[in-house]
Structure 1
Amino acid sequence: MKAAVLHERNKIKFEDVVLPEVKADEVKIKVMACGICGSDTHKMQTRWNYPLPAVMGHEFSGVIVEKGENVGHLSDGERVVAIPFIPCGHCEYCERGDYSLCEAYTMIGSVQYGGFAEYAVLPAKNVLSIGNLDFENAAMIEPSAVALHSVLNAAPKIGDQAAVFGIGTIGMLVIEWLKLAGVKDIIAIDIAPEKLIEAKKMGCNYTINSKKEAMQERVMEITHGKGVDLVFECAGSRFTQEQSLLIPKKKGKVAYVGIAYSDVTLHEKAFENIFRRELTVKGCWNSYTAPFPGRAWTATIAMLQQKRLNLSAYISHRFSLQETQQAFDMMINREQPFNKVMIIPTIEVHES
C-alpha cells in the first residue's frame, strides 16, 4: 500500500510499505480521513522515541475491508473509528479501569503503523462503529474524546464560569463540551486574533488577547473580582500553564490538558494561590476509561449522531496522502492560520 512514511526528523516520503497480515482478532480498514494532531508536529521535530521508519496518524476513520476469523461483532463494509491506544490490560491501572494511566501501553501511529496510509490493521477491540456518520466527523472523535475527558474530570456545574487558554482544536472542543454541560460564561484566552474571532462565533461570552490586554485584570473585571470556577489550560505553553493559577476563584479547579514541552517555573503568587485559595489542580491525560474505550468516546459518537456536535466544522485544511509532508510544513512553519488539518487518502489533489 501507499503511505506517508517518517524516515527522520521532519522527513516524510510517500512510498510503498507492506502492511502486516490480519490476525484472528484484528481488522483491516481502508482509511478515509486522518487528522494531524499537534503532538505529531512536536514529536517529529523534537523527540521521536519510536522505531523508524514509522507511519504516524492516530485520529482516523475508515471502512472495514477484512477481518480476522475470531471477529464476530463487526462486518465487512462497516464504517468505524480507530481507537489508537492499546492498553496492556494487566497493570494496576488497567485492572481498575484507568486505562489512560496504563504503564505499558502502545500506540497506533507510533509503535504500529497509523492512519497516514491507504490501510491500517488494528485489534478489533480498537474500533467503534460510527453508523452513518461521515468520515471527517468520525476522524475528529479522538480529539473530541480528549477534550471531553478533561471536562468530565473537572466536573462543571450548571451556571459555572470557565476560562479556556489556547483556542486550538482541543480548546475549541473543550468549549463545545462546556456549553453542552451548562456552563454560563466562557472566557476564551489566546494571542491569535483569528482564534478569538472563532471563539466568539462559537458563543464564548468574552475573549481576551493576552498579548494585548492585562489578562488577569480583565478576568477579575468579568467575574467581579472573584475569579472563574474552572480553568482549562489547552495551550501547552509555560506562560499559560502558570497564568492558569492566577485566575481561579477560591475552591476553583484548574484542568491541565496541554502537553508541557519545557520547564514551568511558578512565581510566588501563582504557587500560593494553590493553597491559599484551596484550588483543585487536575491533570487530564488521554481519554480512556472503563468500559474501554470509555464514556468520552461513546458520548462523542452519541452527540454526533444526535447532531448536537459538528466536529468537521473545525477542519480548516485538507491534503491528499501524497501531500502529507506539505501539510506538516504548513503547520510547523506557520505558513497560514489553521485549525484541524486533515489527510484524506482518497483525494488526489489538494483541497482546502
Structure 2
Amino acid sequence: MNIAQIEKKNALRFIEISKPTPMEDEVLIEVMASGICGTDVHIYQGDYKGSYPIIPGHEFSGIIQEVGDKVRNFKIGDRVTIEPNLSCGTCYDCLSNRQHFCQNVQSVGVTKPGGMAQYVCVPERAVFPIGDLSFEEAAFMEPLSCVLHGVEQVNPGLSDSLLIIGAGPIGLLLLQSFLVKGCSRVDVIDKDESRLKMATAMGASSISTQLDVNKKESYHIVCDATGVTFIMEETLNYVRPSGRILWFAVPHVDAEIKVHPFKMFEKEISIFSSYTSCRNSWQALEMIQNKRINVSKLISHRIPLKDFEKGLKILQNHSEPAMKILVLPQED
C-alpha cells in the first residue's frame, strides 16, 4: 500500500509498504477520506507532541476489510470512522472520567500509524459505524467532537451572545454548535471575505474583517479560533463582566501572552481552554447524521494521497484560499 510518512521536522516522503495485518482486537480499514488538520501541520513543523517517523492523519473514515479474531461488533464491509485517542482506562485520569488526559494515551496519526495511507489498523474500541453517511462527512466526526467539548467547557446559555474570531473550519463548526445550543447572537470576525460569506450562510448574526468594529465588553462568550497570541489577548476586551472566554485554537508551543489579572478580577472573567475531546464522538456523529451540523460545505479541496504535502503547505503558508482539505487515498 501507499503511505505518506513524516520522517522528521519538515521532511515527508511517499513510500510503498506492506498492508498491515490487524491484531486480534483490531480492524483493518481501507481509508476512503482523511482530513488534514492543523495538528498535522504542527507535526510536520515539529512543534507538536508525537514521534517520528509517523503516518499522520486522525480524521478519517473508510471500509473494514479485515477483522481480528476477538472483534465482535464489526464485520468486513462495515462503513466506519474512528476516535483517534486511545486511553488506557486504568490510570487516575481515566478512572476520573478524564480520558483525554490519560497518562498512557496513544493517538492514531500522532503516536500510531494514521489515515494518510490506503489502509490502517485501528483497535475495535476506537471504531464507530457511520451507516449510509458519506465518507467525506464522516471524516468530520473527530474535529466536531473536539468542538463540542469546547462548547461544553463554556456552557453557553439560551440567548447568550457570542463573538467568534476566526472563520476557518473550526470556527464555522463552533458557530453552528453554539447556534444549536440556543445562543441568540453569534458574530464572526475573519480577514477572508469568502469565509465570512460562508459564516453568514451558516447563521452568523453579523460578520466583519475588523475586530474593533465590535462593541467592547458586550459578549457573554468570546471565542478565539485562530491561535494568534495578540488576538487571544484581545478577547479580554470584548467579553462582558462575568463573561467567559474560550481559547480553542492551538497556539505555537512556545507562544506567550500578556494577561492583566486586575482586569480579570474587576470583571470576574473566566477563561477556558479546550484540549481534544472527551467522549464526544457519538454526539458529533449523530449531529452530522441528523443534519444539525453542516460539514460538507466546509470542504474546499479533495486531493490524492500523493498531494498530501501540497495540502499541508497550503494550510501552512496560506498560499491559496482553503477550508478543509480532504485526502482521498484510493484515488490517483
TM-score by length of structure 1 reads 0.90
Say yes or no: does 1:47 pair with 2:47.
yes
Match of 1:317 in 2: 301
Which residue of the partner structure matches residue 223 of structure 1? Answer: none
| Equivalent residue in structure 2 for 1:248, among 236, 239, 244 | 239
| Identical-pair percentage | 29
The 5 A counterparts of 1:212-231 are 214-215=212-213, 218-220=214-216, 226-231=217-222
The 5 Å alignment of 1:151-300 reads 151-210=151-210, 214-215=212-213, 218-220=214-216, 226-261=217-252, 262-266=254-258, 268=260, 271-288=261-278, 294=279, 296-300=280-284
Q: Residue by residue, what CA displacement relative to the aligned partner does 1:102-159 show, whole Å, maximum 9, x if unpaired?
A: 2221111121110000001011000111111000000011111111111111111111
1:192 and 1:29 mapped to 2: Cα distance? 36
**CA separation in 2, counterparts of 1:244 and 1:273?**
12
Which residue type is aligned with residue 214 of structure 1? D
CA shift at 1:48, angstroms?
5.4
Contact 2:116–2:305, Cα closer than 8 Å, also in 1: yes
Q: What's the CA shift for 1:50?
A: 3.6
Alpha-carbon distance in 1 for matches of 2:256, 2:310:
32
2:327 is matched with 343
Are 2:85 and 1:101 aligned?
no
Give the count of matched residue pairs.
Answer: 331
Moved more, 30-39 or 42-51: 42-51
Per-residue deviation, residues 315-343 of structure 1 (Å, max 9, x unmatched): 10011011112222222232211000010
**2:244 alignment partner, SS class:** strand
Q: What is the SS of the residue equivalent to 1:47?
A: coil
Residue 178 of structure 1 and its aligned partner are, at CA, apart by: 0.8
Name the CA distance, whole Å, in 1 between partners of 2:331 and 2:168: 25
The 8 Å contact of residues 19 and 121 in structure 1, kept in 2 or not, is answered as: no
Q: Check the 8 A contact 1:142/1:297 in 2, yes or no.
A: yes
Question: Partner letter of residue 258 of structure 2?
Answer: L
Query: How much has 1:6 moved relative to structure 2?
Result: 1.5
Within 2, Cα distance between the matches of 1:98 and 1:49? 19
Write the distance in 2 (CA, Å) between the matches of 1:201 and 1:272.
39
Residue 187 of structure 1 contacts residue 205 of structure 1 at CA under 8 Å; is this kept in 2? yes
CA distance in 2, matches of 1:153, 1:55: 31
Residue matched to 1:135: 135
Unaligned residue ranges in structure 2 (runs of 5+): none
Q: Which residue of 2 aligns with 1:4?
A: 4
Greater CA deviation, 48-57 or 242-251? 48-57
TM-score (norm 2): 0.95
Q: Displacement, 1:49?
A: 4.7
Secondary structure at the aligned position of 2:90 is classed as coil
Equivalent-residue separation in structure 1 for 2:156 and 2:50 (angstroms) = 37
SS of the aligned residue for 1:4 comes to strand
Match of 1:219, as an amino acid?
K
Instruction: Report how far residue 191 of structure 1 moved.
Output: 2.6
- Contact 1:94–1:101 (CA under 8 A) maintained in structure 2: yes
**Are residues 1:13 and 2:13 paired?**
yes
**Farther-moved stretch of structure 1 (72-81 vs 297-306):** 297-306
Say whether the 8 Å CA contact 2:146–2:276 is kept in structure 1: yes
- Distance, in Å, in 2 between the alignment partners of 1:227 and 1:26 is 50
Report the 3-state secondary structure (helix = DSSP H, G, I; strand = E; otherwise coil) of the residue aligned with 1:214: helix
Matches within 5 A, 1:2-151: 2-47=2-47, 49-151=49-151
Distance 2:49 2:183 in 1: 39
Query: Deviation string for 1:29-71 (max 9, x for gaps)?
Result: 1001000001211221132554432210000001111111111
CA distance in 1, matches of 2:274, 2:313: 29
Give 1:186 shift. 0.5
Aligned-pair distance for 1:19? 4.5
Q: Distance in 2 between matches of 1:282 and 1:49?
A: 22
Q: Offset of 1:301 from its aligned partner?
A: 1.5
Q: How far apart are the structure 1 equivalents of 2:138 and 2:104? A: 27
